[in-house]
């Protein structure tokens, strides 16, 4: 299945044989204080910057109606974000992953985002469209 939207991802997660937990890290791109003039120019043009993770949350696919509902729920926390990084945690023996397992995985995700190691995540913009970061 090709996942081009967050709702595609939700649909895929709901059809898995084993229970899934979605790991979500809302983030912004910010300009580092020690940036070069070229980096500032790129950032002002809408590219570049440092990824700064903010709000982290885990949800089962059943807890999420669709991307619009997730975006609305995120507004309650007054955390500004430009993109959401998503990964999944798969349960075993018919049991969903625990909150403790999700917390550990979210901590690893935040570290990976700060390091720019994004291989195991899908990134979505504020409209729920998958985007590519380079």
Tell me which residue of 61, 84, 77, 65 sits closest to 131, measured CA to CA.
84
How would you write the pLDDT of the chain (134 residues) with one tens digit per residue?
A: 789 999 999 999 999 999 999 999 999 888 888 888 888 888 888 777 888 898 999 999 999 999 999 999 988 887 789 999 999 999 888 888 888 899 999 999 999 999 889 988 999 999 999 998 86
- Residue 134: the pLDDT is 66
- Residue 50: the pLDDT is 82
- Residue 71: the pLDDT is 92
- Residue 103: the pLDDT is 93
- Our CA dihedral for 25, 84, 116, 89, rounded to 10 degrees, sits at 50
- Residue 77: the pLDDT is 81
Model-wide pTM > 0.85: yes
- Residue 81: the pLDDT is 92
- Residue 105: the pLDDT is 94
Question: Cβ atoms within 10 A of the Cβ of 27, count?
Answer: 21
Strands 122-125, 50-59: pairing is unpaired
Beta strands in 10-97 (DSSP E): 20-30, 50-59, 83-90
97 membership: H or E segment, kind and range: none
How far, rounded to the nearest angstrom, does the alpha carbon of residue 13 sit from its chain's CA centroid?
Answer: 15
């Amino acid at each position: 299945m090709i996942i081009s939207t967050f709702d595609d991802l939700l649909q895929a997660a709901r059809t898995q044989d084993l229970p899934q937990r979605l790991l979500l890290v809302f983030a912004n791109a910010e300009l580092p204080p020690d940036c070069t003039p070229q980096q500032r120019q790129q950032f002002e043009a809408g590219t570049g910057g440092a990824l700064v993770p903010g709000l982290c949350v885990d949800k089962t696919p059943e807890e999420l109606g669709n991307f619009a509902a997730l975006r609305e729920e995120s507004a309650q926390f007054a955390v500004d974000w430009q993109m959401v990084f998503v990964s999944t945690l798969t349960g075993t023996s018919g049991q969903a992953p625990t909150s403790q397992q999700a917390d550990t995985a979210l901590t690893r995700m935040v570290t990976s985002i700060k390091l720019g190691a994004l291989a195991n995540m899908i990134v979505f913009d504020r409209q729920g469209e998958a985007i590519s970061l380079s």
